[in-house]
Amino acid sequence: MSRDFFSDLTDEEKEIIVHKGTERPFSGEYNDSFLEGVFCCRACGSFLYESTSKFDSGCGWPSFDDEIADAVVRYEDNSLGRKRTEICCARCDGHLGHVFHGEKATKKDTRHCVNSLSIKFIDKNKIEKVTVGAGCFWKVEYLFKNTEGVYNVKSGYMGGHTKNPTYNEVCSGSTNHIEVVEIYFNPNILTFLELLNIFWSNHKPASIDSQNGDSGSQYRSAIFCYSNLQLEQAFESKKEYQEKIEQQIVTTIIEAEVFYKAEEYHQDYLNKNNLDSCSL
């Protein structure tokens, strides 16, 4: 069964997110908030807006002049007898607000007018990122999305030499990319080492270019780090896990490269297709 993102919302939140209501202007908690961080969907947790895109439009609702790539979908809205463009979360389709152009309030000439009740703010100090490859990204994404302390997970490709690779190109082995998941997590809830323990114990790090029946260079084991501290901890974690198994670990540990988000149908694949699991 597909995940229900809305059952835990309050009645007030459902009125906005599910029933496409609008909160009173200047009443939302994020209207005058300009802290550094990320705004995510209140219903499903997907990252929607960087705080750097937020600006004071004076309209009474949080305003953003850009969204995180592929995070927002648009629909034509004629509910008030005039044409407007509704914006919703691309993952759960929860209502966010409307987007307007031509006001010249910023250089991007765009205003996402968003209800505070549709979003949640995460302070930058509570966000850390790592990208890992551990076989088919459908299962890896599902695993970490259901891990406490993880905010956001995206399936994609990293480690190759072709720009904007497609799934078919990656599967052919011609681009040398790995199927990976980009993981944003709260290190105060889930430490980097705890996350790596989940990584090690949920795939076969001694297996070369294959994981449980899936074969190909895109399935190789890898940890892509975003800081020197992550690199140090990853190598130490690998050393500790090596002592627990006889086979030689072949996991690559290197600095993060360019992350290419996989095609939309790969995102949240198991949930979208009502699948409980796949081989990992």
Q: Which of 136, 171, 225, 278 is catalytic?
A: 136
Residue 89 annotated to the active site: no
Distance from CA of residue 75 to its chain's centroid? 22
Per the residue annotation, which of 40, 88, 89, 113 is the catalytic one? 113
Q: Closest Cα to residue 91, out of 47, 147, 33? A: 47
Question: Is 136 one of the catalytic residues?
Answer: yes
Neighbours of 239 (CB within 10 A): 10
C-beta neighbour count of 102 within 10 angstroms: 8
Q: Which positions are annotated as active-site residues?
A: 113, 136
